[in-house]
Amino acid sequence: MALIVQKFGGTSVGDTDRIRAVANRVVEARKRGDDLVVVVSAMAGETDRLVALANATSPDPDPREFDVLLSTGEQQTIALLAIAIRALGVPARSFTGVQLGMRTDCSHGRARVLSIDASRIRRDLDRGAVVVAAGFQGTDSDGNITTLGRGGSDTSAVALAAALGADVCEIYTDVPGIFTADPNVVANARKLDHIAYDEMLEMASLGAKVLQLRSVSLGKQYGVRIHVRSTFEREEGTWVIPEEEVMERPVVSGVTYNRNEAKVTISGVRDTPGAAARIFRPLSEGGVVVDVIVQNVSEDGRTDVTFTVPRPDLGRALEIAEAVAAELGAPRVSSDESIAKVSVVGLGMREHAGVASRMFSALAEEGVNIQMISTSEIKVSVVIEERYTELACRALHDAFELGEERTASEEQGLPAK
Ligand code: ADP
Ligand code: ASP
Ligand code: MG
């Protein structure tokens, strides 16, 4: 008998018919004899609706109360799913984050899971009940409700799987697995059978929202086997597993995009030691996470510094940048919200040269101008005009032949370094 954590996302529990379909699937698994912890998100659109309600009430909602409000989305679905499972004659009990003993730090809106009291869940599992757990929410040491950031139910599920030593964490969603690119943007994207934790970490951090970044890092840390698969179809999905177990190692395995960043430029910064520290220290102290940074070669002792920040933090970033610019005698601060970051990711890049140049050529052929570039061991990212996002994703997907089934020799791809 296995212990399985199943997580169903917002679309999967989007209305009561879908909740009943999920209940059927859960009961089927239970009847095979497995112990089940089922984590659910809020119904599709519900979290957005709650966010809009809070923002309509105040331009700057209190973070503690914001989390109290947002957590109600998942509280609805746990109750509805438990009702639906019980209606099929199988015992089930719902648990909010507090009831699960899901302890987090106190960073409202982006809390990190610290520990889980598994004893309460085990008691119900031992009695033969299906445990239906609210995703996305926890409680800090003072008993305040916290939420784990958008997409956080993935993290709740993986954290529960780690705490319970589950055999597998199944992430049920509206696509059949993890693809070479977002299948809703690139029509010929190919489903991957396996992906290594590190590759998925990179894809998630670069915008592939199929798994929340933190869920992948927890999965890697605790060795949780994650299986991303379709709620609506039966076929196997994609396994996220340790690198040693991934047989194929294409140079590029995926293309991702992120439309949630904005660009800030401080022009005419005096090019002296310490200038960068004076710009980026107050930003980090202000809780603004800076991503790509570019500094130009200086002319006449002055240079331009451009960086990207999460779009929701642009207002705060600009306030800080303007204050710093005044201190540094830099005459101008400008910003651009209509940018996107498009990236190619692959473990095989460690051993192969030529990925960046192939990427730049493919974009050039489509007339897409590159504004910023950033690379790491297993990814190359470019910042481009937002309106070219889809075009760039498709062009790169084709350039790296990701839509094709590759043969072993093609797998070698580019010449070795
Ligand atoms: P859920 O509500 O089930 O958590 P999400 O909307 O958070 O679902 O994540 C699933 C979505 O992730 C898909 O509908 C797809 O548009 C998007 N996505 C982005 N990149 C990828 C990728 N590489 N593979 C699969 N899905 C992706
Ligand atoms: N309901 C939350 C969200 O929409 C958490 C989740 O779905 O994972 O982000
Ligand atoms: Mg999600």
Per residue in 248-263, pLDDT (tens digit) is 778 999 999 999 999 9
From the CA of 47, the nearest ligand is 2
Q: Encoding tokens for residue 364?
A: 């050039």
Task: Look at residue 16 and tell me whether its pLDDT is greater than 50.
Answer: yes
Average pLDDT over residues 223-239: 97
From the CA of 148, the nearest ligand is 2
- pLDDT-based confidence at 405, cuts 50/70/90? low
Most ligand 1 atoms within 8 A of CB, residue of 182, 185, 232, 402 to mutate? 182
Q: What is the mean pLDDT of the chain?
A: 95
- pLDDT-based confidence at 416, cuts 50/70/90? very low
From the CA of 42, the nearest ligand is 2
Given a contact cutoff of 8 angstroms between Cβ atoms, the answer to whether 308 and 372 are in contact is yes
Give, for 307, the enclosing helix (H) or strand (E): strand 302-310
Per residue in 133-156, pLDDT (tens digit) is 999 999 999 999 999 999 999 999
- pLDDT-based confidence at 196, cuts 50/70/90? very high
**Ligand 2: which residue has its CA nearest to atom 9?**
150
- The pTM is what? 0.93
Per residue in 319-362, pLDDT (tens digit) is 999 999 999 999 999 999 999 999 999 999 988 989 999 999 99
**Ligand 2: which residue has its CA nearest to atom 4?**
47
Q: Domain 3-174 - what CATH class?
A: alpha beta
**Ligand 2: which residue has its CA nearest to atom 6?**
151
Q: Which of 275-289, 376-390, 396-410 has the lowest mean pLDDT?
A: 396-410
- Quote the pLDDT of residue 300: 87
Beta carbon of 40 within 6 Å of any ligand 1 atom: no
- pLDDT-based confidence at 237, cuts 50/70/90? very high
Q: How far is the CA of 25 from the centre of ligand 1 (A)?
A: 21
Detail the DSSP E strand segments found in 9-91.
35-40
Beta carbon of 209 within 6 Å of any ligand 1 atom: yes
Per residue in 242-299, pLDDT (tens digit) is 988 887 778 999 999 999 999 999 999 998 899 999 999 999 999 999 999 999 888 8
Q: Which of 29-33, 192-196, 299-303, 332-336 has the lowest mean pLDDT?
A: 299-303
For ligand 2, what atom is nearest to the CA of residue 136?
5
- How many CA atoms are closer than 13 Å to the CA of 398, on its beta-carbon side? 12
From the CA of 14, the nearest ligand is 1
Beta carbon of 13 within 6 Å of any ligand 1 atom: no
Per residue in 106-136, pLDDT (tens digit) is 999 999 999 999 999 999 999 999 999 999 9
Chain position carrying tokens 């051993």 = 351
- Quote the pLDDT of residue 417: 45
Task: Look at residue 88 and tell me whether its pLDDT is greater than 80.
Answer: yes
Burial of 360: CB neighbours in 10 Å, binned 0-12, 13-18, 19+: middle
- Quote the pLDDT of residue 404: 64
Most ligand 1 atoms within 8 A of CB, residue of 210, 214, 258, 379 to mutate? 210
DSSP assignment of 181-214: S-TTT-TT--B-SEEEHHHHHHHHHTT-TTS-HH
Is the CATH number 1.10.10.10 carried by domain 246-417? no
- Quote the pLDDT of residue 297: 85
Give, for 94, the enclosing helix (H) or strand (E): strand 92-95
For ligand 1, what atom is nearest to the CA of residue 181?
23
Average pLDDT over residues 185-197: 96
Per residue in 198-216, pLDDT (tens digit) is 999 999 999 999 999 999 9
- Quote the pLDDT of residue 232: 96
- Quote the pLDDT of residue 296: 86
Percent of the chain residues past pLDDT 70, beyond the cut:
97
Per residue in 2-15, pLDDT (tens digit) is 999 999 999 999 99
Distance CA 150, CA 47 (A): 9
Per residue in 32-76, pLDDT (tens digit) is 999 999 999 999 999 999 999 999 999 989 999 999 999 999 999
Please give all residues whose beta carbon lies within 6 A of any atom in ligand 2, as ranges. 9-10, 41-42, 47, 73, 135-136, 150-154
Question: What does the domain layout of the chain look like in residue ranges?
Answer: 3-174, 246-417
For ligand 2, what atom is nearest to the CA of residue 152?
8
Beta carbon of 164 within 6 Å of any ligand 1 atom: no
Beta carbon of 36 within 6 Å of any ligand 1 atom: no
